[in-house]
Chains A and B, each alone.
Chain A
Amino acid sequence: MTGLLDIESLARPEIEAILTRSKHFQPAPKQAFKRFTTLQNRTIVNLFFESSTRTRTSFEIAAKRLGAEVLSIAIAASSISKGESLVDTLNTLGAMRPDAIVMRHAASGAPHFLSRYLPIPIVNAGDGTHEHPTQALLDALTILDRRGTLENLRVAIIGDIAHSRVARSNIFLLSKFGVQVVLCGPASLLPREMTAIAPGVELTTNMETAIRDVDVIMMLRVQLERQHEAAFPANEYFRFYGLRPEHIELAKPDVIVMHPGPINRGQEISSEVADSQRSAILNQVENGVAVRMAVLERVLAR
């Protein structure tokens, strides 16, 4: 593994290996995280062309717990538009010879583009509306914590599917494990072609249909910043696609409710649901560190 650009090109055994290793990095209940020296004397650059406190912090903590040096650089989109090209930025960083680059970028495929020119392994921390591979891995780990297996589960992903990199990575990952994935959202945010990108994917615009008998409900954040037009009447969205307690009744009794965060309480998810027993939102955050440790270790393995 030379880096981690997307879930789509990962084989199932590779995903399984990462998830298995992640469990090793999960702290036992009520215990502190363990510290390791695996990546001592290695330098990781976190390059965030798009702001994200959560993901950046999670990668930073993961790297530090493995003993690596971490340098986080936030590059405002404005300085990019002032003329320095992505290639120049990366050449500059490349000259400093970090051992790996963790990058987030607003353009789909930006890490793929760079990996063609840079010999340093790149971990994709979210690229445009394409993929967010470590999010899908931590989601899978969170499901495994509660279900033990992914096989034969039914998972609903609800919200702005078209613009969601979380949705794409989860679709690719879950499909590799034989999960039935139901995608749900307003028609203009639910591309029909989604059924063709991976096996076992179905679509519905009806929230009740989507949730019926599912094992997992994944809510997506409304990505207003990625919508370039009014794809749906704004005031109708939360009425039809907000997750409320009555929806939970339709799912399996032990349904897991997930959300990549940050959540908009009372909008795509009600507070009652977010804070309920069914919610695994905080477990997701915790698992994020473990999964990213496993990924960094794998990427930097000598």
Chain B
Amino acid sequence: MNKLVIKNGRVVDPAQDLDRVSDVAIEEGTIRQIAPSIDATGAAEFDATGLIVAPGFIDMHVHLREPGFEHAETIETGARAAAAGGFTSVCCMPNTQPVNDSAHVTSYIVDRARRFAAVNVFPIGAITKNSAGEALAAFASMKEAGIIAISDDGKPVMNARVARRAMEFAQALDLPYIEHCEDLHLSAGGDMHEGMESTRLGLRGIPRSSEDVMVARDLILAELTGVRYHVAHISSHHSVEMVEFAKKRGLRVTCEATPHHFVLADRDMAPYDSNYKMKPPLREWPDVGAVKQGLMEGVVDAIATDHAPHAGAEKMQEFERCPFGIIGLETALGLTLEQLYHPGHVDLAHLIRLFTHNPARILSLDRGALRVGGAADVTVFSLDREWTYDVRHSASKSSNTPFHGRKFKGGPVASIVAGQVAWRL
């Protein structure tokens, strides 16, 4: 029959200024009707009484590790973790093995996702071949194969001339250019944010300036080339200011923030605990405040997790030998409710926009809204359910998170992808 009616939820879709208790009827993977009291005869019913029914959440920055690092995560397990976090779409970064720098690799990911992923997977292609920062990757054929943006995430384009050429090319193809902003010379050897904490712990620092220098460079090049430019995981208060300035100048510039960068600062780190080690590193309280403020005021456009699984053995090492990154799909909504919604910093429509309409707009995805006739991707979540995150029950293959054991108020209840319930509590 393939019909589903989500009954009696509070339907909130900021893309069309919708906020009322309604039913949502889904048929053949598309939304048929949004109205009070839809007759559900012959359809499966989902009772959403007391819950929020929102457009499917989009995480525009994840690492699914396939191909190449399947011991840490696969497209299948990563997608399951996404669904369990309330996400119906994820955009996967190209730093796989091989790097997604060709249409072949893109097609492989698209094919694997079609067969094994519980959620939509949109690949992001590399900027340069092997993300080595030199020759440009094949953007046009990768675009035909399905990439929705380009990025050398984790290995930023250090050569400004290469970055400029890539931006020109991306602009012509109307592909968003996403940069992991880090001057690798300034950050070389660093393991955590450079500041009082790194000095105290005797760990080498990653200065804030390593992010700021590249954001500044890129904004200048973005103005020069007219590219749609996006700063990944912004973490420095100076960088937030610069993006705000660029937006005021009318540049096509956007940025995202991860939950951990608006929840934790360097001094919250358990000493030498690699579950707190990521790039950009946890910075200082003024940075955390600026990221949060940016999210409230619309300077920061989207929340993305930078879900970065690493197998247990990789993280069970001396701090300076551990790889960077933490998982984040399952805790993103809980942390955002905790930091932004419950304290009253943003209203519900604003919060939902950060997970739906805004990332869809940045990446020109035909998603992020509950439109009749559109894809039936729906996230159902609670504002008040109390729960505790137990990473041992995570759908991800990896468990590198600083949020194990954290208590939450509100979180995902179901993820519906193309009309199918991909996950429910």
A97 to B313, CA, bound (A): 24
Nearest 7 pairs between A and B by C-beta?
A130-B202, A109-B272, A107-B318, A108-B202, A193-B199, A129-B202, A193-B196
| Interfacial chain A residues near B188, Cβ < 8 Å | 228-229
Look across to chain B and name the residue whose beta carbon is closest to the beta carbon of A109. B272
Nearest Cβ on chain B to A91's Cβ, whole angstroms: 11
8 Å CB interface, A47-94 against B:
85-87
The reply on A230 being an interface residue by CB < 8 A is no
Between-chain CB contacts (< 8 Å), 12 pairs: A107-B318, A107-B319, A107-B321, A108-B201, A109-B203, A113-B272, A113-B318, A129-B204, A193-B199, A193-B200, A194-B199, A197-B196
Contacts of A191 in B (CB 8 A): 199
How far does the alpha carbon of A108 sit from the alpha carbon of B205 in the complex, in Å? Answer: 13
Complex contacts, B201 vs chain A, CB 8 Å? 108-109, 130
How distant is the Cα of A87 from the Cα of B321 in the complex, in angstroms? 13
Contact A107 B320 (CB under 8 A): yes
The answer to whether A8 touches B200, judged by C-beta atoms less than 8 angstroms apart, is yes
CB-nearest residue of chain B to A131: B202
Residues of B within 8 A of A112 (CB): 271-272
Check B316 for interface membership: any CB of A closer than 8 A. Answer: yes
Contact of A109 among B195, B271, B313, B316 (CB under 8 A): B271
Rounded to whole angstroms, the CA-CA distance of A193 and B313 in the bound complex is 33
Complex: A238 Cα to B316 Cα, angstroms = 41
A108 & B203 in contact (Cβ 8 Å cutoff): yes
B189 proximal to A (CB < 8 A): yes
Smallest CB-CB separation from A85: which chain B residue? Answer: B317
User: Which residues in B have some Cβ–Cβ distance to A below 8 Å?
Assistant: 188-189, 195-196, 198-204, 271-272, 313, 316-321
Q: Which of A85, A107, A228 contacts B313 (CB 8 A)?
A: A85
- Majority DSSP secondary structure for residues of B touching A: loop
How far, in whole Å, are A275 and B316 apart by their CA atoms in the complex?
A: 47
Q: Which of B188, B196, B313 has the most CB of A within 10 A?
A: B196
> In the bound complex, how far is the Cα of B316 from the Cα of A290, in angstroms?
36
Identity of the chain B residue whose Cβ is nearest the Cβ of A161 in the assembled complex: B199
Does A242 sit at the interface, judged by CB under 8 A? no
Contact of A10 with B by CB under 8 A: no
Q: Are A86 and B318 in contact (CB under 8 A)?
A: yes
Known contacts A105-B318, A107-B321, A196-B196; 17 additional CB pairs below 8 A are A87-B316, A108-B201, A108-B272, A108-B319, A109-B271, A109-B318, A113-B317, A113-B318, A128-B202, A128-B320, A129-B204, A130-B201, A130-B202, A168-B200, A191-B199, A193-B196, A228-B189
CB closest chain-B residue, reference A172: B200
Which parts of A94-138 form the interface with B (CB within 8 Å)?
Answer: 105, 107-110, 112-113, 127-131
Residues from chain B with a CB closer than 8 A to the CB of A107 are: 318-321
Instruction: Report how far A107 CA is from B272 CA in the complex, Å.
Output: 10
Q: Does A221 count as interface, using CB distance less than 8 angstroms? A: no
Inter-chain contacts of B313 with A (CB < 8 A) = 85
Q: Please, which residues of chain B bring their CB within 8 A of the CB of A165?
A: 202
Q: Nearest-CB distance from B205 to chain A (Å)?
A: 8
Q: How far is the CA of A9 from the CA of B195 in the complex (A)?
A: 19
Which residues of chain A have C-beta atoms less than 8 A from B271's C-beta? Answer: 109, 112
Instruction: Report yes or no: B202 in contact with A86, Cβ–Cβ below 8 A.
Output: no
B193 to A: closest C-beta gap in Å: 11
Q: How far is the CB of B56 from chain A (nearest CB, A)?
A: 40
Which of A85, A108, A168, A193 lies in contact with B316, CB distance below 8 A?
A85
Does A108 contact B317, Cβ atoms closer than 8 Å? no
- Which residues of chain A from 139 to 187 have any CB-CB distance to chain B below 8 Å in the complex? 165, 168
